[in-house]
Structure 1
């Protein structure tokens, strides 16, 4: 059954997010073959959180994916993004801490999420520090460019320090 489930999962992944009708058909088939498959549950969570903007339902799928396979390195990033979009900052912070200890996870992506969390809280200096740390774990040009763009965005948001003019006598 695993080969059949994988076939439908990869079809769903291929259709996501451009052909949602076909994506959901394939995803439902994959989940019918293996209802506890973490990757399929994660993709279903992404459908709800990223496409439908139904964060609560997305969170349920992500939670189920995490319970099904706690070591799956694909789920935390998307789950964190869902939590941030839903303004569940405390939960996101806990999941970020857990994800950073996972072996094999892309720490650059997780630290970028942590930077986004800090930015949403208005803690711009801490957000920049997280991006600096994320750069250490960035091993390709495209991810480095994403981090550089985020750094520019955060710097543009930072309040400009006011300087006082000296009074001339």
Structure 2
């Protein structure tokens, strides 16, 4: 990682997602200095996924980021979100299982993604189990609040008969 690339990468990150023009300018400079930088490729994937909703292009950037640095703990979270948004559930499940084995990754965030995967599949009981598991790996109030909100949302989606079974 070069200092110049870092400067432009952090500049791009600072502009994301509020000033996309400056973000893209800085990110293109960062990638011109180091075309295989996993963090820059991940941010480009996020732009395509979160802003442009171009999931197929985003997936290509995320895949390239993963190939460039398989140990980068930043990429899987956003790649999983992209796969879920694009309804690529099998791919997302494989990536989740891989990510949970990565040293240094935020397991609570990954398990939250796993919960969302099961929720999208309509398996609310398993989604709630993943929330409970994520709590074990949550070390800040913000994540606990997110997990509590997610749990309430899942409970609200459950049929009445299922809610009574879960409460017991």
**Normalised-by-shorter TM-score class:** over 0.9
TM-score, normalised to structure 2's length?
0.95
Q: Are 1:143 and 2:143 an aligned pair?
A: yes
Aligned to 1:57: 57
Structure 2 counterparts to residues 73-88 of structure 1, below 5 A: 73-88=73-88
Deviation beyond 3 Å, 4+ runs, structure 1: none
* Cα drift, residue 161 of structure 1: 1.4
1:109 paired residue number: 109
Secondary structure of 1:87's partner?
A: coil
- Which 5+ residue runs of structure 1 have no aligned equivalent? 163-169
**Cα distance between partner residues in 2 of 1:48 and 1:141:** 30
1:33 and 2:37 aligned: no
Q: How does 1:1-169 map to 2 (within 5 A)?
A: 2-161=2-161
**How many pairs does the alignment contain?**
162
CA RMSD of aligned residues (A): 0.9
Larger radius of gyration: 1
Unmatched tracts of structure 2, length 5 or more: 163-168
Tell me the SS of whatever aligns to 1:161. Answer: helix
Question: Within 1, Cα distance between the matches of 2:2 and 2:82?
Answer: 28
Q: In 1, Cα distance between the equivalents of 2:79 and 2:22?
A: 23
Q: Which has the higher helix share?
A: 2
1:74-93 per-residue CA deviation (whole Å, 9 max, x = no partner) reads 00000000000000000000
Q: Distance in 2 between matches of 1:10 and 1:67?
A: 22
What is the alpha-carbon distance in structure 2 between the residues aligned to residue 2 and residue 80 of structure 1?
28
Q: Deviations over 1:1-20 (max 9, x none)?
A: 70000000000000000000
